């Protein structure tokens, strides 16, 4: 079967990059695939979190999924820590992945910074847990932003090494030639890497100290308008063709955002705005962003206000996810040669 898995960390400040790179795309996959969307709270604690804020942020990400149009009845929405198979399989993958593989991960280098001795061990093994998130459901497709490309390659390497190392046992247990699929990242569309509004060389990120660097899903019309108006640009008018965006990262970023929000191609947007000054384009971008994000923000607020409903969605989703994950863990234990109750 074809199955989609993706996760979002409940680490605050959900932004337009998270939306266009991931959550918006979750919605479009629902007609084609069986989908599992996860609030990855265990990933969040790889860096310090305040418990009460973490609780609030788990509800907020869940509300964002629902407000954007993820259907928790037809698909599965839950938080990672409620299904123990993620952590169990991550341990197995800690023993499959090699130190050298993890040493090459750029996200760890960026997040650990200079004080690497003081980073948590969990931050280092984060990609093994991510591989477990995906493979505990034997998911085949993973919609993510471009920043997750390297972790997706590692996920495939882990699946492949497990399949190779245990090939004989996989066959003996009746699973055929391979057990885990080589999950395919779905990194698509004009907003696969949304950049900071203040610096076209940096990705839009939750942890950027400047709130002007990002549009938050919770921003109202005034905040959105201010941030777009202050967004960094160059002095030239917009080009008429996509090739004209080369070496103009800020222009490229704003055009990409406009394209993604309107469901059009960048070339199509430029055929409308080519030759315009940024002031005109920005006004159109404000209108589009407010029209698009306004209803999402207010629906999120409405949902978060009813914490009981959100929590019941997560418990129900976890109950359904657990059935799938438990089956994988039984299979994996048999493949590894562990003893279990039958």
312-319: long-range contacts at Cβ-Cβ below 8 A with a sequence spacing of 24 or more?
313/62, 313/66, 313/72, 313/77, 314/39, 314/58, 314/62, 314/77, 314/78, 314/79, 314/82, 315/78, 315/82, 316/72, 316/78, 317/72, 317/76, 317/77, 317/78, 318/78, 318/79, 318/82, 318/83
Q: Which stretch binds ligand AQP (CB under 6 A): 9-17, 155-163, 166-174, 328-336?
A: 9-17
Is residue 86 close enough to count as binding ligand AQP by CB under 6 A?
no
Residue 255 DSSP SS3: helix
80: contact with ligand AQP by CB under 6 A: no
Least distance (Å) between residue 80 CB and ligand AQP: 12
Closest distance of CB 148 from ligand AQP, Å: 4
Work out whether 144 is an interface residue with ligand AQP (CB under 6 A). yes
Does 22 bind ligand AQP (CB under 6 A)? Our answer is: yes
Question: Is 282 marked active-site?
Answer: no
**Could you tell me the smallest distance in angstroms from the CB atom of residue 217 to ligand AQP?**
12
Query: To the nearest whole angstrom, how small is the minimum distance from the Cβ of residue 208 to ligand AQP?
Result: 6
- 149 assigned to active site: no
Out of 207, 277, 298, 301, the only residue in the binding site for ligand AQP (CB under 6 A) is 207
Place of tokens 């384009």: 281
Report CA dihedral (141, 142, 147, 151) to the nearest 10 degrees: -80
d(CA 142, CA 151): 11
203 is known as an active-site residue: yes
Q: Choose the binding region for ligand AQP from 169-177, 201-209, 251-259, 316-324 (rule: CB under 6 A).
A: 201-209
Which of 289, 291, 141 minimizes the C-alpha distance to 228? 289
Active-site annotation, residues: 111, 203, 206
Interface positions with ligand AQP (CB under 6 A): 8-9, 11, 17-18, 21-22, 144-145, 147-148, 193-194, 203-207
């Amino acid at each position: 079967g074809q199955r989609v898995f993706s996760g979002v960390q409940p680490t605050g400040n959900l932004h337009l990059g998270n939306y266009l790179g991931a959550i918006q795309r979750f919605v479009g996959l629902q007609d084609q695939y069986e989908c599992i969307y996860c609030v990855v709270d265990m990933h969040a604690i790889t860096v310090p979190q305040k418990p009460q804020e973490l609780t609030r942020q788990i509800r907020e990400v869940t509300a964002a999924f629902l407000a954007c149009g993820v259907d928790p009845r037809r698909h599965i929405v839950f938080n990672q820590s409620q299904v123990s198979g993620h952590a169990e399989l991550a341990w197995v993958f800690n023993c499959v992945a090699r130190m050298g593989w993890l040493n090459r991960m750029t996200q760890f280098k960026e997040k650990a910074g200079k004080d690497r001795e003081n980073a948590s061990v969990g931050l280092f093994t984060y990609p093994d847990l991510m591989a477990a998130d995906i493979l505990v459901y034997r998911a085949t497709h993973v919609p993510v932003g471009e920043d997750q490309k390297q972790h997706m390659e590692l996920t495939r390497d882990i699946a492949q090494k497990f399949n190779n190392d245990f090939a004989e046992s996989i066959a003996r247990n009746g699973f055929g030639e391979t057990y885990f699929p080589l999950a395919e990242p779905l990194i698509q569309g004009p907003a696969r890497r949304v950049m900071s509004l203040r610096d076209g060389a940096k990705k839009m990120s939750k942890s950027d100290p400047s709130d002007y660097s990002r549009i938050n899903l919770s921003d109202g019309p005034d905040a959105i308008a201010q941030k777009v108006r202050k967004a960094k640009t160059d002095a030239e008018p917009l080009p008429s063709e996509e090739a004209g965006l080369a070496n103009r990262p800020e222009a490229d970023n704003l055009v990409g955002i406009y394209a993604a929000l309107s469901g059009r191609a960048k070339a199509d947007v430029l055929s409308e705005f080519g030759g315009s000054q940024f002031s005109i384009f920005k006004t159109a971008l404000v209108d589009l962003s407010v029209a698009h994000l306004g209803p999402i923000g207010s629906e999120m607020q409405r949902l978060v206000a009813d914490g009981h409903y959100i929590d019941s969605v997560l418990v129900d989703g976890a109950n359904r996810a657990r059935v799938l994950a438990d089956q994988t863990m039984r299979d994996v234990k048999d493949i590894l040669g562990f003893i279990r109750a039958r």
